[in-house]
Amino acid sequence: MLGNQRVRMTDKVPCKECKALILPSTAARTDGLCMACKNGIRQNIERSKEYYKKERQLDKTCPFRAFWRDLVSRVYDESHGFHTLTNEEKTYYAVNCLSGEVYNGGFVQYFDNSAGEHYKYAELGLIQVGATNSLRLLRKARNEVFGSDAVPTDKTLRLAATDSDSIRKSLDQLDDEFYKDLDQLGDKLEKYAIENGLVQNA
């Protein structure tokens, strides 16, 4: 509402850049630009829309995403759980979780979250898929935090072990190396899934 009168679509004017319809009062304040264009975020908005459009399409058509959703569903289903997965599924799940956690929040996040419970499967999985650089970084991260000890399955113990500024700083450097993805880990995981019959029609 503008005063006591309803603003009609025909009362609006197009933004000079993106042509989105805006109020004349807005155009007067912004030299004819919508707020998104004026603030320089229109391009980001459009890129974001396109990105999520592609993501939604992949969710419908990508067999690897379908397999991953099924795995996660089974792991978190009380009637199933991680222990009910086949060895090949455990490998795929553990390595994928490792990669996702590190990319999202570094090795600290990996060890602090539930994915850290499956460290031994992630380590074995990296061996099986041939990701030698990722394996080196994972083992180095483990040594920084736990020394020669096994990674605890107890989350409280893992949280206590990473609660150190010096350890976090060391892990930050390993994160940067991991992000270079010298192994092309995603490609190796997809190949592993196909070769072991986890994904069909890829």
In tens, the pLDDT along 111-160 reads 999 999 999 999 999 999 999 999 999 999 999 999 999 999 999 999 99
> 3-class SS at 3?
coil
Determine the pLDDT at residue 166: 93
- CA 46 vs. chain centroid, Å, equals 21
Residues of the chain below pLDDT 50: 1-5, 7, 9
Angle at 169 between CA 172 and CA 132, to 5 degrees: 40
Question: Which backbone phi and psi does 4 adopt, to 5 degrees?
Answer: -105, 10
d(CA 130, CA 180): 16
**Of the candidates 11, 38, 43, 6, the residue with the CA atom closest to the CA atom of residue 24:** 11
Output the pLDDT for position 34. Answer: 81
φ/ψ of residue 26, rounded to 5: -65, -45
Distance, CA of 202 to CA of 193 (rounded, Å): 10
Q: Could you give the 3-state DSSP secondary structure of residue 22?
A: strand
pLDDT of residue 44: 66
* Dihedral sign of CA atoms 178, 184, 189, 190 in order: positive
Residue 187 CB contacts under 8 Å (≥ 6 apart), including other chains: none
Look-up of token digits 């042509």: 19
CA atoms within 13 A on the CB side of 139: 12
